[in-house]
Amino acid sequence: GAGVSQTPSNKVTEKGKYVELRCDPISGHTALYWYRQSLGQGPEFLIYFQGTGAADDSGLPNDRFFAVRPEGSVSTLKIQRTERGDSAVYLCASSLRGENTEAFFGQGTRLTVV
């Protein structure tokens, strides 16, 4: 596609439920990032993939959060036993490999836990 696509754009779930958020990166981009943006804050790094492997998952807040990228393209962020504090906009970005490459962001998935 032309840009990074994230689905769904909005997700409302009940506390304790499991959710999956999907990211389709730009074709050919080997690097993929997940960020979380809480209300009134800047995006915070969660996890980074280079190809299929999670090269850095230091930003995941706890073991309820997990992300996969099995074929090196689409990625899914999975949240178990959701809590109200998980409510935020989850952003995905992709880029070519390298230190000076631009990261292109998707529009995000707004997750609301009620």
Partner 1 sequence: AQSVTQLGSHVSVSEGALVLLRCNYSSSVPPYLFWYVQYPNQGLQLLLKYTTGATLVKGINGFEAEFKKSETSFHLTKPSAHMSDAAEYFCAVSDGILTGGGNKLTFGTGTQLKVEL
If one asks whether residue 100 binds partner 1 (CB under 8 A), the answer comes out as: yes
Rounded Cα–Cα distance for residues 86 and 68 (Å): 19
If one asks whether residue 55 binds partner 1 (CB under 8 A), the answer comes out as: yes
Nearer to partner 1, 101 or 112 (CB): 101
User: How does DSSP classify residue 103?
Assistant: P
User: With CB under 8 A as the contact rule, which of the stretches 12-20, 53-61, 62-70, 72-80 interacts with partner 1?
Assistant: 53-61
> How buried is 49 (Cβ within 10 angstroms: 0-12 exposed, 13-18 middle, 19+ buried)?
buried
Nearest to 92 by CA among 76, 78, 105: 105
Token couple for 88: 């935020």
Residues of this chain, 6-45, that bind partner 1 according to CB under 8 A: 31, 33, 35, 40-45
Q: Give residues in contact with partner 1 (CB under 8 A).
A: 3-4, 31, 33, 35, 40-45, 48, 50-51, 53, 55-56, 59, 91, 93, 95, 97-108
